[in-house]
């Protein structure tokens, strides 16, 4: 970082020489982001092609699911990045990128809901496993509880302890009255009184997804096969399962999990490319000092990959591609480091110098940089249009949320078999703040859970699962 660069940031943060520093800063950030986005989308796009060819191309269902999204992505990359249409048609292309990005978010929201729902069915099927086994070795409960005590409290780190307690609660047999369970949920939500609304909404979402209450937008449009699997698992007669039906359900769940993992991995990779393309197009008008040689190399790589996206590269093309890739590998880390040194001043500038930014006609570029800041977030599926809800949670709002969640949960549990209700309880309890006052209460809960469970196979599976976690 050169002296002029440091001086710019220092004067900007000190509020000095702003008429010169604000335009200089916006240009510097735009240029760094534009180069970073070019490098990132190039490397991610190449990685996406390799992953699809090596892992997905022979998996028909997965490939058919992602194919329409890939087609739109490939078109946008050619138009925006390779052919340079982003200069003259920027507004329309930004809308196209945003539309594709939102479609991927919607699909991932549906997938996530199925993951949480299938976790409940997995819980039920896991606990039935030994019922169909030819034989199994029972676990000494006293020895298990002693190992559990050591595992939970051997560390002094409260974060680790709480995480392990939540893990324990999510695996041990649930023998809890519905009223007590709902009271735990109620008390956990009550902790959010006088906090910000965004935090409450996030926690409510976590409860709803783990309780199978959340119905995402697009659930009737996307992943019809997963919907059929969910319906079959939901309507299974778990109380009267025979071994053949049990094995079929396990296979169905396992195959669906493999499919979900593949599709999720692909959509994460696709979204990374989309985010980088979004940043590239947003910053293009304001990036004045880009490395043209670097940009040309990135476009060469994307062109080669794009033309042969669904086909295997020739040896000559592969050699050319590797030579080009070797010239840019590692450059994106340097760009990102420079961006991070600049990014800290962005919010400061917007919050304290908004009037001057407006007067200098820099409002548009700073708004673009704020969007880019969100797109650089670790969460690739972040909603860039959603404003953070910082208003305080009122008693009235909290009461409405609690009533809604508890009523829906109570109604769901009236409709489901006991085994599924226990799965829901376990999953929800595992994400609630720890509700024990001391270590004795924790150990008493574990002991009581095992004593009250009269199904030897169920509690043996639960202990095995926890022992496996302890061994890792």
pLDDT at 91: 87
Q: How far apart are CA 302 and CA 309, in angstroms?
A: 10
pLDDT at 52: 87
What's the pTM?
0.90
pLDDT at 218: 92
C-alpha torsion sign, points 348, 350, 351, 354: positive
pLDDT at 58: 66
Counting as low any pLDDT under 70, the low residues of the chain are 1, 57-58, 86-87, 310
- State phi, psi for 196 to the nearest 5 degrees: -85, 155
Task: Write down the domain spans for the chain.
Answer: 3-111+262-375
């Amino acid at each position: 970082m050169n002296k002029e660069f440091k001086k710019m940031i220092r004067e900007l943060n000190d509020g000095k020489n702003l008429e010169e520093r604000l335009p200089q800063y916006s240009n510097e950030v735009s240029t760094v982001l534009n180069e970073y986005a070019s490098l990132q989308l190039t490397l991610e796009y190449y990685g996406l092609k390799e992953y699809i060819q090596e892992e997905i191309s022979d998996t028909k269902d997965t490939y058919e699911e992602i194919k329409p999204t890939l087609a739109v992505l490939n078109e946008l990359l050619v138009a925006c990045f390779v052919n340079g249409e982003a200069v003259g048609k920027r507004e329309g292309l930004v809308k196209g990128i945003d539309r594709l990005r939102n479609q991927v978010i919607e699909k991932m929201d549906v997938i996530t809901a199925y993951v949480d729902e299938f976790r409940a069915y997995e819980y039920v099927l896991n606990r039935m496993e030994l019922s169909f086994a030819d034989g199994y070795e029972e676990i000494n409960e006293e020895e298990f509880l002693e190992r559990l005590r050591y595992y939970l409290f051997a560390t002094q780190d409260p974060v680790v302890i709480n995480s392990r307690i939540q893990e324990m609660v999510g695996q041990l047999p649930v023998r809890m009255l519905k009223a007590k369970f709902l009271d735990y949920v109620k008390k956990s939500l009550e902790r959010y009184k006088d906090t910000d609304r965004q935090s409450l909404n996030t926690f409510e979402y976590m409860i709803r997804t783990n309780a199978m209450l959340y119905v995402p937008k697009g659930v009737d449009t996307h992943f019809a096969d997963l919907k059929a699997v969910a319906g079959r698992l939901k309507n299974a007669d778990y109380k009267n399962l025979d071994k053949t039906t049990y094995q079929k359900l396990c296979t169905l769940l396992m195959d669906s999990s493999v499919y979900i993992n593949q599709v999720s991995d692909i959509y994460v990779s696709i979204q990374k490319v989309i985010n980088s393309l979004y940043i590239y197009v947003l910053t293009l008008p304001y990036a004045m000092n880009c490395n043209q040689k670097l940009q040309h190399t990135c476009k060469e790589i994307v062109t080669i990959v794009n033309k042969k996206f669904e086909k295997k590269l020739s040896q000559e093309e592969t050699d050319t591609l590797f030579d080009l890739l070797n010239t840019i590998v590692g450059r994106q880390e340097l760009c990102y480091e420079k961006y991070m040194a600049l990014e800290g001043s962005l919010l400061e500038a917007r919050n304290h110098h908004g009037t001057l930014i407006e007067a200098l006609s820099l409002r548009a570029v700073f708004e673009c940089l704020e969007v880019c800041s969100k797109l650089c977030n670790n969460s690739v599926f972040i909603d860039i249009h959603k404003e953070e809800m910082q208003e305080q949670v009122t008693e009235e709002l909290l009461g409405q949320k609690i009533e809604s969640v508890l009523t829906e949960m109570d109604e769901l549990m009236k409709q489901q078999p006991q085994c599924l209700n226990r799965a829901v309880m376990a999953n929800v309890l595992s994400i609630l703040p720890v509700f024990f006052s001391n270590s004795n209460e924790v150990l008493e809960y574990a002991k009581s859970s095992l004593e009250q469970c009269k199904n030897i196979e169920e509690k043996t599976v639960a202990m095995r699962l926890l022992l496996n976690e302890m061994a890792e």
